[in-house]
Copies of this chain bind each other. A is one copy, B any other.
């Protein structure tokens, strides 16, 4: 915080509840019961590994205390990063950790302070309240039971990567048959089965469908007769030619978009990752991207599904200006959060400025945490809220003469009102201001 209006804005914004439209939280065990569940987040294991930590030091075969002790040895190599700052904020906010740094010397204390195994669900509730969470979106596999939690707090979201990218895996089909109760064996029964998934998800309160797509994927309108044979071959795990793989991916993706239209679900597109680029990495730390992507490849999709809202995230930070332009023109394209390798203040600040300057305020979908444990939501949102406060203090208050209240009004739209409107109801009214 560098000046008074920014500080004033941040102090107010930090009091608001958090609506988090994309996480990987496990609703049956949302908060971390052991510091290992915090320090095991791939941001820390991959950064420690990047500085030389052998992968086996975080093996699932080790005791949690051992994994923690191992990673902590490497933290002094990454303690200037923003990722580390989330960690320290968690230790201080949730565990009363009073030291300036997390070091081997404070390892035992931290493990003890962060041990909430016995508190069980009460600890989840504590973190929820301390973080002032209002709703947290999940990432549910299509065969998730969706049972056992309050879906208004932990909102289901149908994740569809496997259906589009791994339909040819025996496992995918077996899971789909089980989950849908349909004996999937061809294009028609595939569609029926996927329809069943949407039925179930929507009836259980799902508010979005989501997928991450590799840089070489270019959606095109499916021509069912042409897709019938490749889809059948994929379902039966027969060998597919590259063009048939492409046909399968396009056809299933298009089918999902059709269901999003029918069920009024926003379809989150997370564009860019290539999986397993660095196979020797730690779990969660193997994916990267190819920056040579363009939303131009998505034009047919955006044109065809005018009544589906597409909240879009791009992984290559240098692709963010293109997203601004596409969200400017296409009513159904919305810029969503700041994702993964782009979730770095230096990239967020430039991108956020452009979005605020050039895009309709009713289309701005502030931020999401992408967190695996509740504890990460507040520190990540605080990082973003700090940047938002500074950008508004500089651009709106100082340069354009807005009042603090006007700036707060815009911040609220970005952080709460828009995400709640887009992810809370029917897609067709998604871009209407309240």
Contact = CB atoms under 8 A, between A and B. Distances in A.
A398 B2 CA distance: 7
A321 B318 contact: yes
Taken together, the copies of this chain in the complex come to 3
A280 B306 contact: yes
Interface string A19-52: 0000000000000000000000000001101111
A292 interface: yes
A290 interface: yes
Interface stretch (A185-193, A240-248, A296-304, A374-382): A296-304
A361 interface: yes
Interface of A: 1-2, 46-47, 49-52, 76-83, 85, 215, 274, 277-281, 285-286, 288-292, 294-296, 299, 302-303, 306, 316-319, 321-322, 324-331, 341-342, 344-347, 350, 353-354, 356-363, 386, 394-396, 398-400, 410, 431-433
A400 to B, nearest CB: 7
A131 B107 CA distance: 44
Nearest to A319: B291
Given A50-B330, A432-B52, A359 B81 contact: yes
Contacts of A215: 296
A292 B294 contact: yes
Contact of A354 (B47, B344, B356): B344
Nearest to A54: B331
Contact of A347 (B76, B316, B317, B321): B321
Contact of A325 (B341, B398, B399): B341
B324 A296 contact: no
A325 B342 CA distance: 9
Contacts of A396: 80
Contacts of A326: 288
A292 B296 CA distance: 10
A359 to B, nearest CB: 7
B330 A303 contact: no
